Amino acid sequence: MRVIIVIRDFFSIGGAENFAREFALNLKKKNVDVKVITSRKSLIKKNKFFRNIKVIQIYSPNIRIIGTLIYCFSLFIYFIFHFREYDIIQSFFLKHSSFVSVIAGKILKKKVFCRMECSGNFGDIKTLKKIPFSFIFLKIFKISDGIIVLSNEMKKELEYYGFNKDKLFLIPNAVDVEKFIPSTNKEEIKKKLGFENKKIVIFIGRLTKQKGINFLLEAFKEVDNENKFLIILGEGELKESLFKKIENLGIKNRIWFGGKKDNVIPYLQAADVFVLTSISEGLPIVLLEAMSCGLPVIVSNVGGNIDVVENEINGYVVFPYDIKRIKIYIEDILKDEKKANLMGNRNRKKVIENYSYEAIIKKYLEIYSK
């Protein structure tokens, strides 16, 4: 089996991009011939390798519309001239890469599967419908061999827009359960990171409106402040406004912005509860990583969150705007160590059984082989 993975920004930091890299590596472990097509900003050709996986970088100048057109044309030409080198095209995002992939696949009689990354107001479909002639994109996506969705919410959204339910395959994200493991000495890790004797709430994600970080900050202000501390890891356009917000809320001395971290494991292992109050989601890999580290979680009732978290069983599910409820749930977990441990243990078990790369890659290969 020969699979070519198509994603516009393979080397970027993001949930989909992180998954694409791990997905490629794990396909390779199953003796699948894997290549990756992505974009580059430089005119200089840079065909390179990612851990023995060939990465073809197509020129895409940083010029709106023109850059996309050049990328799409070059991608199509690559498919045409290299049609003997692959059997299956796996594209990420219901955007331009998938549009070109499906057209080329139909012409060349290759299997094409597209992967939807997010639902709701910030999702693939809502973003797509903002561009001219979006109905053409939707028609093209509908003739693909299949759409991979990460959650039941995504599946319902595509069915609403007329996609054939027999072509929708629910395969969630995955996490490396051997890498993301619970701490054996949480207090020691806290001490090393400089958070000794703190009860830690952690948020990891882009600092954007979609992630609902403002709601978490407002809720945390109301949390009783005896040794309670909030760690925020991530970057984004809201960073400066968030700095101002925490000053206005009077909680500057209870929050630490750590920026982007290549390795978030020590921070997850030091934390006592993971909170993600997004307005819309796919299935956040960082949520699975937190669960794999044995953390209880508090999440908004959007996207794949509600497929993974059972309210009051392995965490809490809340409306993202419900600041009062977020505050109550944070305090409940931080005050009840027995409940927190029980939820965390259930999360670890659930991830191992359902969201390991071994389990997820098996599902992809089954679909490819049909």
Give tens-digit pLDDT for 225-279: 889 999 999 999 999 999 999 999 999 999 999 999 989 999 999 999 999 999 9
Q: Say how many C-beta atoms besides its own lie within 10 A of residue 303's C-beta.
A: 28
Q: Do the domains 2-174+356-369 and 186-354 sit in the same CATH topology, yes or no?
A: yes
Can you give the residue ranges of every domain in the chain?
2-174+356-369, 186-354
Helices (H) and strands (E) in the chain, counts: 15, 14
- Say what the pLDDT of residue 286 is: 96
- The CA dihedral of 99, 105, 111, 116, to the nearest 10 degrees, is -10
d(CA 345, CA 84) in angstroms, rounded, equals 48
- Say what the pLDDT of residue 62 is: 87
- Say what the pLDDT of residue 47 is: 67
109: left (phi over 0), alpha (psi -120 to 50) or beta: left
d(CA 240, CA 234) in angstroms, rounded, equals 12
Closest CA to 166 of 23, 367, 369: 367
- Say what the pLDDT of residue 281 is: 92
d(CA 27, CA 42) in angstroms, rounded, equals 29
Residues of the chain with pLDDT under 50: none
Reading the block at residue 270, the tokens are 């030091």
- Say what the pLDDT of residue 240 is: 93
Segment holding 111, helix H or strand E: strand 111-115
- Say what the pLDDT of residue 21 is: 96
d(CA 48, CA 226) in angstroms, rounded, equals 51
Contact call for residues 168 and 159 (beta carbons, < 8 A): yes
Closest CA to 294 of 337, 248, 331: 337
Q: Fill in the DSSP letter of residue 252.
A: G
Contact call for residues 271 and 201 (beta carbons, < 8 A): yes
- Say what the pLDDT of residue 46 is: 67
* Architecture of the 2-174+356-369 domain: 3-Layer(aba) Sandwich (3.40)
The model scores a pTM over 0.85: yes
What phi and psi values does residue 50 have, to the nearest 5 degrees?
A: -115, 100
CATH of domain 186-354: 3.40.50.2000
The average confidence (pLDDT) of the chain is: 94
d(CA 232, CA 250) in angstroms, rounded, equals 16
Contact call for residues 265 and 234 (beta carbons, < 8 A): no
